[in-house]
A = this chain, B = another copy of it.
Amino acid sequence: MGKLKEECGVFGIISTETSELAADVYLGLFALQHRGQESCGIVVNDDGLFTSHKDVGLVGEVFTREKLASLGSGNMAIGHVRYGTTGSGGVRNAQPIVVDHIKGRMALAHNGNLVNSVELRDELEMAGSIFHTTSDTEVIAYIITKERISTPSIEEAVSNAMKHIQGAYSIVLMSPTKMIAVRDPHGFRPLCYGIKADGSYVVASESCALDTVGAEFIRDIEPGEMLIFDAQGIRSDRRHCGELPRTLCVFEFIYFARPDSVIDGCSVHSARVRAGELLAKRHPADADIVIGVPDSGIDAAIGYSRMSGIPNDVGLIKNKYIGRTFIQPGQSSREDLVRIKLNPISSVVGGKRVVLIDDSIVRGTTSARIIKLLREAGALEIHMRVSAPPFRYPCYYGTDIDSPERLIANNYTIDEIRDILKVDSLGYLELEDAENLCGCLKGFCSACFNGKYPTSEPVKKGKKRFEYRISEARERENE
C-alpha cells in the first residue's frame, strides 16, 4: 500500500542452562515482525552444534510447530526477520547466515546496510572468495573471518572488522561459545538488551521484543559498543564508542519502530504524539474532527487533537485479516485494494471538516485513494497533515527507498501535492521539528529528508547492487 518497506529485526538469547530457546526467539521475532515480513530464520546453538531453519514467509508461516520443535534445545539462539534492503529476496538471502571458518562455526543476523560493501566484496573476490548470497551480511561474515585468523578471539575479530565496515549495522552473532551484539558507531539502527527472570540475557532490535518474552529492559547498546555474552557473563567493549557522531534514524520514531518500544531512552509513541502536537502548532486547521490513518497515523492524531482541541475519533477501520495470504481476486481494475483494507465510518466523517493524519506520503496514490473514500463517505473538508517532512532522498542505511524519481515530494511542490491529492490543505512536519521529537535525545540521520548523509555514499547504490553486476560478469568472464 505504498508504504516504505521496513528493514530487518534481530533477536538473540543466551541462557545459563540448555532449554528450548527457539521458543523465545519465536516470540521475539513475532514482536519484531513489523520490521520485516519477507523471510525469517532462527539458529539454535547447542554447545557448538548449530541447528537452523529459515524460509520465505512470516514467522507464523515459517515456524510451524514441527519446524520449531526440530530446532531442539540449546544454550544460545539468534533470529532474524528480514525485509531485504540489499540483495533480492528469497530463501537465498534469508538470515541468520551460518558459516564455517578456520576457528569454527558462526551464525550472524544483521539489521542495516553497509555503504562500502561493494568495495569490500570486490577485494574479497579478488582474493578468490565466493559468495552464496547477495547480502551485506555475508560480506561482514567474511571480514570477521579474515580478522579471526590473526586474532585470539572472536570479539577481537569483530572489533577489528568494525574498522573496515562502514554504514549501518546492528548485529547479533554466535560463535560456538559466545553471543556477541554490536551496534555501529553511528547508532543508525536500534539495539537493546535485557534479562529474564531466569538470568538469560536477551538482545533485540526493539524493546517491545524484550517485553514480549518477559525480559526486563536493561539498556540500549550504545553506538559503537560491543557486548560479549558467554558462560562467564557479560562484558562490554566500548573501544569504538564515540568514534563517530550519533546519527540514529529519525524514521524509526516516525514510522518503523513499534509505538510501545523505547529507543535510546525515548518512547516511540511519545515521539509520534509530539509530532502530532508540533503539526498542530505549525499547521492548524479549522476542523471538526481529527482522524489518523491506521495504524501508523493513530499516535500523531492524538497529539494533533490534544494540541488543537479538535476531537479525535476513529474514522477509518482497517481490515485486520488482510495479510500476506490475501490474493487480489478478479479483474484488478474492478476491485480496489485500499477500499478492501480501509473503510471510512460515515457517521464519523459525514458532514464534517476532517483533519487526516498520516505518517508519510511516498508516491501519493494511496493517500489520494483514502481521501476519495472519505469524500464519498461525506467529509466536507479534508486537511491532511503528515507527521514527517517530505521524503526526497534515498536511504543507504537499511530502508527501501532508492528511487527518488518516484517520490511525490521530489516531483511536485507541496501546493501541487495538495491539488493532486484533492485536499483542502496539506501540512508536513518541519525538518527541525522532526529532530526535536525525542526531547533531550539528539543526533539523528535525516538524510532521507535533507540529503545530508552521515557517511560517504556507496559507489553502487540500490538494493540489487550485487545482482546488477551479473551482466558485467558476462563480460568479465570472457576477459
Contacts and interface: CB of A to CB of B under 8 A. Distances in A.
A321 B100 contact: no
A269 B345 contact: yes
A33 B317 CA distance: 14
A132 interface: yes
Contacts of A295: 320
A330 B23 contact: yes
B128 A145 contact: yes
Given A211-B339, A259-B314, A470-B48, A346 B267 contact: yes
Nearest to A327: B65
Interface string A41-83: 0000001111010000011110111001000000000000000
A339 B208 CA distance: 11
**Copies held by the complex:** 4
Interface in A82-130: 91-92, 97-106, 125-130
Interface stretch (A298-306, A352-360, A362-370, A397-405): A298-306
Contact of A132 (B98, B262, B322, B344): B98
20 contacts: A20-B329, A27-B335, A31-B319, A47-B474, A61-B325, A63-B327, A92-B98, A100-B125, A101-B130, A127-B128, A130-B138, A177-B474, A177-B477, A211-B339, A211-B343, A214-B336, A267-B347, A269-B347, A270-B347, A302-B312
Given A49-B470, A320-B320, 14 more contacts: A22-B329, A31-B340, A47-B474, A60-B325, A61-B325, A68-B329, A101-B125, A103-B476, A104-B474, A212-B319, A214-B336, A260-B343, A267-B346, A269-B314
Interface of A: 20, 22-24, 26-27, 30-31, 33-34, 47-50, 52, 58-61, 63-65, 68, 91-92, 97-106, 125-132, 134, 138, 141-142, 145-146, 149, 152-154, 175-177, 208, 211-214, 258-260, 262, 267, 269-270, 273, 295, 298-299, 302, 306, 311-314, 317, 319-323, 325-327, 329-331, 334-336, 339-340, 343-348, 466, 470-474, 476-479
